[in-house]
Copies of this chain bind each other. A is one copy, B any other.
Amino acid sequence: MGRRSGGREARLAARSAELPVKPVRPGQTGGQYRPLSDAQLQDIFENALDLLEELGMGSPIPAFIESTVEAGGWMDDDDRLHYPTDLVKRAIDSATKEFVWHGLDEDRSIELKDQNVHFSTAGAAVLMLDHGTRTFRESQSADLYDSARLADTLEHIHAYVRTVVARDADNARDLDMVTAYATMMGTTKPQGTSFFQPEHVYEVVSMYDMLLGEEGAFRKRPFVVANATFVVPPLRFAQDTAECMVAQVRTGMPINLLSAGQAGATSPASLSGSLVQAMAECLAALTNINLLSPGHPCIFSMWPFVSDLRTGAMSGGSGEEALLNAGSGQLANWLGLPSGSAAGMADSKLPDGQAGHEKGLTVSLVAQAGTNVIYESAGMLAALLGHSLEMMVIDNDLLGAVNRTIRGIETDDYSMARTVFDDVVHGEGHFLGHPQTLDLMEKHYVYPIIGDRLSPDDWKDEGATDASDRAHDYVVRTLASHYPSHVSPEKDAEIRDAFNIILPVDVVSGADGRWRREAT
């Protein structure tokens, strides 16, 4: 070992000692895309307030009626609950403007505020796409676990909300329990689940407390946001979900307030009409939650969906859908509330060129609008009816690229490169070996994990694969090896003793060997 290597070694050591400089991070600031003008934002808000005062919400639950009437609202002869404008405005004032969505791993926590952008999964798909066969099968609790632990490895998915319905559950209680359990076991990222009945909320929170080691622990550091689709649109509460929200308020579980009307079917065919309705519905829920518990953390998620008006079926990947969700995110941000939107819902049944551009369009615009959480942004197909693990891996590349666009263009002196031009024009004539180029390679550029950038010849030599082939390879390798270890086998056994969990322990530990068989 001669002296000459000393300089290089010292440099390498110094370099590896540096913290890795990631080109993108969760929570960068969006808002550079503004589909609605200030006057339009105000107009939509005023129309929403008008609907709440004049038409109100149908099917209110007693807890909502009582507190709303006490605060100045009223019931009409059609049993609709009306919200005076002042009451709604006071609720907005008292609502939480930002909160931390904790990860089970605290380093993965995300902060919902301002126009910070994060990407999350979500969905209640009932079908899983099998790779390579172009066939769907019923989704199972094991699929949910696999989907969660796959997402656990994907850098640009910042939160994991359950993607599929565990159709191996016989009843709502088993389903709510295993959905929360499979998600919690699969990832240490901030996560979300959903509930059919309020009593399951209490039971699930007991499970979370057991995981965290003491009663009340979940309330202190909630790592789960409940996805609450509280409306049967137009303008009518879903009573079971509304009761679940009361339970979530009592257990300290943050709530994602979802309205999810479908333009042309359960909301107006006009885009602005759909936004007015979704805003009114979410404001009603926000008002009721804040009357029960001022400042209870909520995400304002209008999720305006679209119908294909030729058939009435839901369509998730259109330009209309991109506009609606970008507008909804802008509206929620304009109110100053933590905001959620839906994007990345492809109508295509396969991870093909159609699915890709439907996702590219919708995720790009909704993210640039600056929504705090872009839900549904990975793995969803068939207008949310289908989930694909390969699609989720492909989508992760898209989310990384979109997040790079959120970071934007720096124009500090170093980036403007004035002296670099002098070096190059009077020197080599190109920038390839310039120190600035080497410096920025990892700091400013995002690289896809399965996206292919080879020349046509090299791509052919490597097997002429398509994106789903390469994604499938990633899925199999990852799921054969990545069994998160944040819950010990002993803790898992304790949980399984206390609660009825239908997902077999061998699936959770990998002892069933499903993925290892495919990987070899």
Contact = CB atoms under 8 A, between A and B. Distances in A.
Interface of A: 32-36, 40, 43-44, 47, 50-51, 55, 58, 78, 127, 134-136, 234-235, 263-273, 275-277, 308-313, 315, 317-320, 322-324, 326-327, 347-365, 368, 382-383, 385-386, 391, 394-395, 397-398, 400-405, 408-411, 414-418, 420-422, 424-426, 429-432, 434, 436-437, 439-441, 444-448, 450-456, 459-460, 464, 466-468, 471
Given A354-B448, A357-B360, 20 more contacts: A32-B35, A40-B411, A136-B456, A269-B434, A271-B444, A276-B416, A313-B455, A322-B401, A323-B409, A348-B466, A350-B466, A353-B353, A353-B394, A353-B467, A356-B359, A359-B360, A361-B398, A368-B368, A382-B455, A385-B456
22 contacts: A34-B34, A234-B431, A235-B425, A264-B437, A264-B440, A265-B431, A268-B421, A268-B434, A269-B437, A269-B445, A270-B414, A273-B420, A276-B421, A317-B401, A319-B402, A326-B405, A347-B453, A357-B395, A357-B398, A360-B360, A360-B362, A361-B402
A417 B273 contact: yes
A361 B448 CA distance: 14
Contacts of A466: 134, 348, 350, 352-354
Contacts of A324: 409
A358 B467 CA distance: 12
A452 B421 contact: no
B436 A35 contact: no
A277 B383 CA distance: 43
Nearest to A311: B453
Contact of A360 (B275, B358, B417): B358
A445 B43 CA distance: 23
A436 B263 CA distance: 11
A270 B322 contact: no
A308 B440 CA distance: 12
A67 to B, nearest CB: 23
A312 B432 contact: yes
Contact of A234 (B40, B235, B326, B421): B421
A280 to B, nearest CB: 9
A50 B418 contact: yes
Interface centre among A310, A353, A444, A459, by most chain B C-beta atoms within 10 angstroms, is A353
A266 B421 CA distance: 11
A315 to B, nearest CB: 5
Contacts of A264: 431-432, 437, 440-441
A33 B308 CA distance: 27
A165 B77 CA distance: 73
Nearest to A126: B456
A444 B263 CA distance: 11
A425 B273 CA distance: 14
Contacts of A50: 418
Number of copies: 2
Contact of A353 (B270, B319, B468): B468
A401 B360 contact: no
Contacts of A273: 415-417, 420-421
Nearest to A362: B360
Nearest to A394: B353
A131 to B, nearest CB: 12
A360 B321 CA distance: 14
A341 B98 CA distance: 38
Given A34-B32, A415-B272, A436-B269, A51 B421 contact: yes
A471 B436 CA distance: 44
B452 A404 contact: no
Contacts of A308: 445, 447, 453
A285 B54 CA distance: 62
Contacts of A276: 416-417, 421
Contacts of A467: 348, 350, 352-355
Nearest to A58: B425
A452 B409 contact: no
A235 B410 CA distance: 22
Nearest to A349: B459
Contacts of A409: 35-36, 40, 271-272, 275, 323-324, 327
Nearest to A274: B417
Nearest to A408: B35
